Chain A
Amino acid sequence: METMMAYVIGLLFTASIYMMLRRSIVKLVIGLIILSNAANLLIFVVAGLTRGAPPLILEGASEIAGTVADPLPQALILTAIVIAFSVLAFAVVLIRRAYEVVGTDDLDKMKDTDT
């Protein structure tokens, strides 16, 4: 399962880089969205996937028995998703404003501030 997920994550990273290298700013933002999803999925998988074993301490016991799923990566992903959501919301507004002000969605034409 982890091996398959590793391929999926790799594919997502590849797709996001490809999208970011395109000239349109819309595709750039789509690339960023996929990139953040790839990173989140990576965190999820990297601690190992455990099915059907919630990290609960049974009544009467003082510690967890056996192998359980690690709850921390899920907490991390939740935080990361919220952050990515707000940042991407900003990015979407930004490309809209940029399109209005600059009058093009072609990144190659936005060279005024380059040196």
Chain B
Amino acid sequence: MNPELVLPILIPLTAGALSLAFWRSITLQRVLAVIATGLLLAAGIWLMHSTIEQGFLVVEMGSWPAPFSIVLVSDVLGAIMIVLTGIIGLAIAIYSLASTPKGHEKFGYYPLMHLLLAGVAGAFLTGDIFNLFVWFEVMLLASFALLTLGGERAQMEGAIKYVTLNLFSSAIFLSAVGLLYGMVGTLNMADIAQKVNSVDDPGMVTVVSLLFMVSFGIKAAAFPLFFWLPASYHTPQVAVSALFAGLLTKVGVYALYRVFTLIFTQDVGYTHTILLWAAALTMLTGVLGAAAQFEFRRILSFHIVSQIGYMLLGLALFTPLALIGGVFYIMHHIIVKTNLFLVSGITYRLLGSYELKDLGGVYRQRPYLALLFLIPALSLAGIPPLSGFFAKFIVVRASLEASEYVITAIALLVGLLTLYSMIKIWAEVFWKKLPDHVTDASRLNGEVKERNNWAYYVPVVGLAACTLVIGLYGQPIYILAETAADQLMNPQLYIEAVLGGQSK
């Protein structure tokens, strides 16, 4: 029995239930949010420690033996994702103390945040394909409510697109699970993986695999199914945006990694080639979309799309090095992207706008904030020695080794355009002088005393430190990604761990 495998799901669920019980006491909910996310991070680190020691952790729910029960499985990739969930959860919980409007807190912001984290953690740990669907829905329902909290016009419009496309993707996922069950007669992912090779009609397996690809592709915001993301991610209050930006699409990417390394590896030449071109086009459209935008969070939203492309590229090339790059990229991206959204929230607080034309002069008044923006921004663009450089370097190197020169060229070009976008934000928000039409700059000039200021800066500084550590001290992180990729490339290990060596 490994309690650390269940804790990452139990902690946020309990915290969410407790927050509901203390509905009237916002103070208690706030304290609980910070404590619970801190505990989640601690549980994640514990899980990571035991996973590295033992290889795989498996817990069979209700003590039914493996193919019949729902299993929770943790491999190194799952443990990495849980640790990242803990880091982001803690950062958002602290940031929310200062940034969340009172009205949102009164209408269940904290319980929803816990529920979202529980859904995300469940999706990372489950070893059962239908259970994965259930965790997806838990996560989605919490995200729907968080997205619409506040009820502004833009939020409603964004939410309709977000809800519709995500429900559509869930229906495809559900149909695919049904068809897969019809072919192999099991829902346990390890069991599916060993039975799927002996079905009557291999062509049908490829069809089902494409259904999974479309469904997870929508959730991961891959080309051409990403339109819901830039239409909705800039509408809620900034802590919610940052939480979504860090975790939600990455659950889709994780699901793609899991399914397309473990189950659907029969026809790699076909499925992974589609993924490859989807990845290339995702990178390109995302970055070009960002170049056309002049709103802080919209630019960042489009960059989520383009970065998803790099992660998919790691999976699509399907070589050990490429998978290392992909896993490394996920680690780097989650931290950096959340951090950029958090910085955009600080400049919004200072000047009351996300539009680049209404922002300016921040460098003059707040040079340290400018530096805090520059670290994740340059990291996103892939400037050494920050984390993004190594992430891009590994992926690009892997695509060169696979002789995919066009893809390599696209990846490098997209890196350059990312730098362009980041410099655009830098020049507009930090470098240029404050536009004349902005009348209320009292916060920026420090004339209004700010309360709870530390809660804005602690998460940003913490995440920037994580970026620096990944960049400057990259070897252990690389080895971690290597272990994760190694397990992904050898699905037999996963199958044996879950089914206890009784595989054929």
Q: Which A residues are closer than 8 A to B by beta carbons? A: 20, 25, 28, 32, 35-36, 38-40, 42-43, 46-48, 70, 72-73, 76, 79-80, 83, 86-87, 90-91, 94-95, 97-98, 101-102, 107, 110-115
Contacts and interface: CB of A to CB of B under 8 A. Distances in A.
B181 A72 contact: yes
Interface string B171-187: 10011011101100101
24 contacts: A28-B160, A28-B164, A32-B164, A36-B167, A39-B175, A40-B174, A42-B179, A43-B175, A46-B178, A79-B134, A80-B133, A83-B134, A87-B137, A87-B140, A87-B144, A87-B167, A90-B145, A91-B167, A94-B163, A102-B156, A112-B157, A113-B157, A113-B231, A115-B293
B158 interface: yes
Contacts of B293: 115
Contact of B157 (A83, A86, A98, A115): A98
B142 to A, nearest CB: 11
Q: Which of B158, B174, B292 has the most CB of A within 10 A?
A: B174
Interface of B: 130, 133-134, 137, 140-141, 144-145, 148, 151-154, 156-161, 163-164, 167-168, 170-171, 174-175, 177-179, 181-182, 185, 187, 230-232, 234-235, 289, 292-293, 298, 302
Contacts of B167: 32, 35-36, 87, 91
Nearest to A37: B171
A114 B151 CA distance: 18
Contacts of A20: 164, 168
Contacts of A90: 141, 144-145, 163
A25 B164 CA distance: 10
A112 B141 CA distance: 24
B154 to A, nearest CB: 5
Q: Which of B152, B231, B234 has the most CB of A within 10 A?
A: B231
A73 B137 contact: no
A110 B154 CA distance: 9
Given A79-B134, A114-B231, A73 B178 contact: yes
Contacts of B164: 20, 28, 32
Contacts of A28: 160, 164
A87 B165 CA distance: 13
Contacts of B161: 113
A110 B174 contact: no
Contacts of A91: 163, 167
A46 B174 contact: no
Contact of A113 (B130, B158, B171, B185): B158
B152 A101 contact: yes
Q: Which 7 A-B pairs have the closest CB atoms?
A: A46-B182, A43-B178, A98-B156, A39-B174, A110-B157, A113-B158, A39-B171
Q: Which of B141, B145, B170 has the most CB of A within 10 A?
A: B170
Contact of B235 (A79, A94, A113): A113
Contacts of B134: 79, 83
A107 B179 contact: no
A76 B230 CA distance: 33
A48 B164 CA distance: 30
A57 B400 CA distance: 59
A76 B130 contact: yes
B285 to A, nearest CB: 11
Given A40-B174, A42-B175, A113-B231, 16 more contacts: A25-B160, A35-B171, A36-B171, A36-B174, A38-B175, A39-B178, A70-B185, A73-B181, A79-B134, A87-B144, A90-B163, A97-B148, A101-B156, A110-B156, A110-B157, A115-B231
Nearest to B157: A110
Contacts of A70: 185
Q: Which of A39, A91, A113 has the most CB of B within 10 A?
A: A113
A93 B45 CA distance: 40
A64 to B, nearest CB: 14
Contacts of A98: 156-157, 159-160
A33 B111 CA distance: 27
Given A32-B164, A90-B141, A112 B179 contact: no
Contacts of A38: 171, 175
A98 to B, nearest CB: 4
Contacts of B171: 35-36, 38-39
A70 B168 CA distance: 27
A110 B178 contact: no
A79 B187 CA distance: 14
A115 B230 contact: yes
Nearest to A80: B174
Given A72-B181, A115-B298, A95 B130 contact: no
Given A97-B151, A115-B289, A43 B174 contact: yes
Given A46-B179, A72-B181, A73-B181, A94 B174 contact: no
